[in-house]
Amino acid sequence: MKPPAILILCTGNSCRSHLAEGILRAALNENFRVASAGSKPAGYVHPFAIQTMEEIGIDISSHHSKHLDEFLTDEIETVITVCGNADQVCPIFPGQMNRHHWGFDDPAHATGTEEEQLEVFRRVRDEIAKVFQAYAAGRLDSLK
């Protein structure tokens, strides 16, 4: 039997959803399948998302931007949206039992110097980590 699948959705699937996917995958290990996708994929993972995740020991450099349609035939147990646009266009997936929306600022819109932009990415990463690590702890506790 396959572990339950959790799909994290965002509009562009370039920043927030990959931050959340990396953090949740690290927290849940092999107990769950974790993926991310977008309603309008940007076609890349933002380099600052990769860099700020490396800073906390999580490698997302092999991630790629995907469309949510790639998962329509998969049995997705839980869908989590991390931006308002994805929440509004989110379809129902086969086998879906849970749906959550936790919105976060889009760090891709950060302006200023490179360091100022990285600070926005770090802030959003840390906000996502707080929420998704708490969610993971609850899911793992329910397995006991």
Given 24, 26, 82, 83, the catalytic residue: 83
- Residue 15: active-site member: no
Q: What gap in Å lies between CA 45 and CA 12, rounded to an integer?
A: 9
**89-to-3, 40, 55, 144 alpha-carbon distances in Å:** 26, 10, 32, 34
Q: What gap in Å lies between CA 140 and CA 83, rounded to an integer?
A: 25
- Residue 10: active-site member: yes
Given 19, 20, 53, 90, the catalytic residue: 90
Given 5, 6, 10, 110, the catalytic residue: 10
What is the Cβ-side half-sphere exposure of residue 52, based on CA atoms within 13 angstroms?
29
Enumerate the active-site residues: 10, 83, 90
